[in-house]
Chains A and B, each alone.
Chain A
Amino acid sequence: MTAIPLHFELPENLTAKKFLAKLSKKLNIQVADQQYTIKAFYDSFDWRLYNARMICEFNYSQKKSQVRLIDLNSGDVLAIESLKNVPRFYDQFPTGHLKTHLAEPLEMRALLPLCKLPYEMYCINILNKDKKTILRIQLEEYEQLTNQLHLLPLKGYDKTVKKVSGMLQKSFELKPTQASVLKEALKGHGRKPKDYQSKLDIKLMPGIEVSKASKIIYLQLLQAIKINEAGTIADIDTEFLHDFRVAVRRTRAGLSQIKYVLLATEIAQYSEFFAWLGEITSLTRDMDVYLLNYKKYKATLPVSLREDFAPLYEFLKEKQSQAQKKLAVNLNSAEYKKQLLDWEHFLKKSLPKKGKGSSDQFNIKKLSDQRIWKVYKRILQEGGSITEKSPAEALHDLRKTCKKLRYLIEFFQSLYPEEDIKTILKALKGFQAVLGDFQDYEVQEMSIKHFSEEMMENKVPPKTFLAMGVLVQYLDSMKCKARNEFSDQFVLFEQANNQRIFKKLFAHKSSVKK
């Protein structure tokens, strides 16, 4: 069945009033409501709803306000709820379909307003001879855009929809259009959907010089730092800081991995700056992670202890808020601003024609091949020498090496066939997950112990410590589980097919010989 058009654009000169006058000659219509209304669009900063093919509209007037979730592809209304305002996080929504739809894509991200549009809204009911509504029409008269008309079908009245849709096209010459004016509204603000994403998307040409390529990479990372700065300072949700820190870490990895381009003194200066950025943001991130994990932690406890866990939450919240305050002071400081500006100027400064020797004689592809191959071999060697008796440090070192490889592949992926990159990234991610778990559980276990010492001074009831003890045990068992999974995961990562791809993509003849 081909879909029946439900969304239409009115011709330029056709006002709502004129249209309704014409419509009432053909159908039994009732204008149920007419209101000056504001339409505000919402999504997370990284467009999670849009990526999940959903649009969230908040329509509000003097009289009523509604959140409406629209399927981007079909234009169907997925959920609709009368709410006074739009809660920031999905778990603050009342239980119901809307919340259920939002939970999975949004997770911990805040819903933020994108842009607003005023319009006159007409709600029209089409009635049958029993005065029963058999179809609803929503007519939106805009100042800045062409007027829009939406048919809102009612279950069990399919024939009416078909009839009216056909009539609007034939007798009224309305043009079918999209379900939402989101794109047009954004255009008015000079934006477009998905204009920010956390994932790196660096496009490099294989022939360009190392210096040029590295500046492209650094500039993109700088962009990510700047974009996430305000949200990090305002603590809108945890992921601003997270993305901010990832960009900082990637920059640091770049500085240590693609050395040749900068002078040693420059490297030293900026490495120190970015290391400092990593440091001043780390406590807040740690606390964010504990708070994000809180529900999961609580679920691991026996029911009888769950209520006693609350003081830990309060403690973490307090610590997070203190750390966040300090972080905000640092990111508002003149020193931070100056250093970041210096870095930007440095990146934007035109390059001296000839680089200083070794590096610029080869292009970025050559460098990337070399670096990735080298780090890959190091992983095989480090991983291969780990036995059941190896100390935790060996795994931590390997984790760091894997991270290096991950960043390098992400920087340079546009130089290689997409399918191959996908395969090896997937393998690497799986392997990193188990190493990450091992480290995280260990750190968490230790932190919880530290927290309990600090909490001793706050007159926390003994049962809370009992609960924390149970948690420590859980974390320890998870850590052991990750440790036991290591060898299997390494075998998976090391498998011949992956080796073949790595070799094909990155192994230089010169380096293979060796």
Chain B
Amino acid sequence: MKIIATYNIKGGVGKTSTAVNLAFIAAQNNYKTLVWDLDPQGASSYYFRVKPKIKGGSRALIFGDHELDGLIKATDFENLDLLPADFSFRNLDLVLDARKKPTQRLKKLLKPLKKEYDFIILDCPPNISLLSEAIFEASDILLSPIIPTVLSLRTLEQLKKHIKDSDLNHIQLIPFFSMADRRKKMHREIMGDLNDKHPEVLSTTIPYASDIERMGWERMPLGSYVRKSPSTEAYQELWKEILDVI
């Protein structure tokens, strides 16, 4: 069992799209998979058409004694379940802060689910916060989508430094390029540059594509409304490469 967090300090880089589409592929390959939507905006819950609501909200989650299992919803896809978001997650940081050992909390909550699932994918909100500290503690893998911009190099290095400074040795950081446009000279140059300095960046990139953008309209994972396209292939490739490196 592996816990994978799709994480980036920055917003709108493709974390949710990655979480949803990779989970879909994993499930199709007979891995029991759970997506946990930790973002109060509830984007991944929305893609799976599940109400972004959990009983008791953040407080019940962090202070309550019920188990996560009771909050899980099956999606429309075999082997793929969802733990929905809740609007109250916008206060998750404060609620966590009021607890003893706040950064251990998610890890503890997830423990009983390890038997049940082969992969648990955490769809994280952007920022570095107490919640992201807790996510780091719980995760085996930080899967980090990067848009090839001039600032992306700095963001990646910041994240690496943070992992190192916080002694998060259990974490495997896996960056990859997201929303990349190979036709743009700048994208190509930045990707080449980054690949040289950071060989751990995956060789698969997710292109900027209109069929991926359409997910919000279709409200389902890419693979369930597009049978085959460069985008579906890219996600398949990405999944394969991730399985290879973990």
Please give the residue numbers on chain A whose beta carbons come within 8 Å of chain B beta carbons, in ascending order.
Answer: 80-82, 94, 96-97, 125, 130-133, 154-157
Chain A CB within 10 Å, residue with most, of B30, B49, B81, B219: B30
State in angstroms the CA–CA spacing of A97 and B219 once bound together.
29
Q: Of the candidates B31, B49, B74, B78, which one forms a contact with A131 in the assembled complex, judged by CB atoms under 8 Å apart?
A: B49
Contact B74 A157 (CB under 8 A): yes
Output the nearest chain A residue to B70 by Cβ-Cβ distance.
A156
Output the nearest chain B residue to A153 by Cβ-Cβ distance.
B74
Please give the residue numbers on chain B whose beta carbons come within 8 Å of chain A beta carbons, in ascending order.
Answer: 30-32, 48-51, 71-74, 76, 78, 81, 219
Supplied contacts A94-B30, A155-B73, 18 more A-B pairs, CB within 8 Å: A96-B31, A97-B30, A97-B32, A130-B219, A132-B48, A132-B49, A132-B50, A132-B76, A133-B76, A154-B73, A154-B74, A155-B72, A155-B81, A156-B73, A156-B74, A156-B81, A157-B73, A157-B74
Output the nearest chain B residue to A158 by Cβ-Cβ distance.
B70
Contact A80 B72 (CB under 8 A): no
Distance of B11 from chain A, by nearest CB (Å) = 25
Complex interface: chain B residues within 8 A of A81 (CB): 30
Distance of B72 from chain A, by nearest CB (Å) = 6
Contact B72 A156 (CB under 8 A): yes
Distance of B115 from chain A, by nearest CB (Å) = 11
State in angstroms the CA–CA spacing of A349 and B219 once bound together.
76
Output the nearest chain B residue to A154 by Cβ-Cβ distance.
B74
State in angstroms the CA–CA spacing of A125 and B32 once bound together.
21
Distance of B8 from chain A, by nearest CB (Å) = 28
State in angstroms the CA–CA spacing of A156 and B32 once bound together.
16
Contact B74 A155 (CB under 8 A): yes
Can you list 16 A-B pairs with a CB-CB distance of less than 8 A?
A: A80-B78, A81-B30, A96-B31, A125-B76, A130-B49, A130-B51, A130-B219, A132-B50, A155-B72, A155-B73, A155-B74, A155-B81, A156-B71, A156-B72, A156-B73, A156-B81
State in angstroms the CA–CA spacing of A54 and B228 once bound together.
37
Complex interface: chain A residues within 8 A of B51 (CB): 130
Distance of A13 from chain B, by nearest CB (Å) = 33
Question: What are the nearest 3 A-B pairs in CB distance?
Answer: A156-B73, A154-B74, A132-B49
State in angstroms the CA–CA spacing of A94 and B28 once bound together.
13
State in angstroms the CA–CA spacing of A94 and B211 once bound together.
32
Distance of B74 from chain A, by nearest CB (Å) = 4
State in angstroms the CA–CA spacing of A81 and B32 once bound together.
11
State in angstroms the CA–CA spacing of A157 and B48 once bound together.
14
Output the nearest chain A residue to B78 by Cβ-Cβ distance.
A80
State in angstroms the CA–CA spacing of A131 and B50 once bound together.
10
State in angstroms the CA–CA spacing of A133 and B219 once bound together.
13
Distance of A121 from chain B, by nearest CB (Å) = 16
Chain A CB within 10 Å, residue with most, of B31, B76, B78, B81: B76
Distance of B2 from chain A, by nearest CB (Å) = 15
Complex interface: chain A residues within 8 A of B49 (CB): 130-132
State in angstroms the CA–CA spacing of A132 and B31 once bound together.
22
Complex interface: chain A residues within 8 A of B81 (CB): 155-156
Complex interface: chain B residues within 8 A of A97 (CB): 30, 32
Complex interface: chain B residues within 8 A of A157 (CB): 73-74
Contact A96 B30 (CB under 8 A): yes
Complex interface: chain A residues within 8 A of B50 (CB): 132
Chain B CB within 10 Å, residue with most, of A125, A132, A154: A132
Distance of A92 from chain B, by nearest CB (Å) = 15
Complex interface: chain B residues within 8 A of A96 (CB): 30-31
State in angstroms the CA–CA spacing of A132 and B48 once bound together.
8
State in angstroms the CA–CA spacing of A438 and B81 once bound together.
52
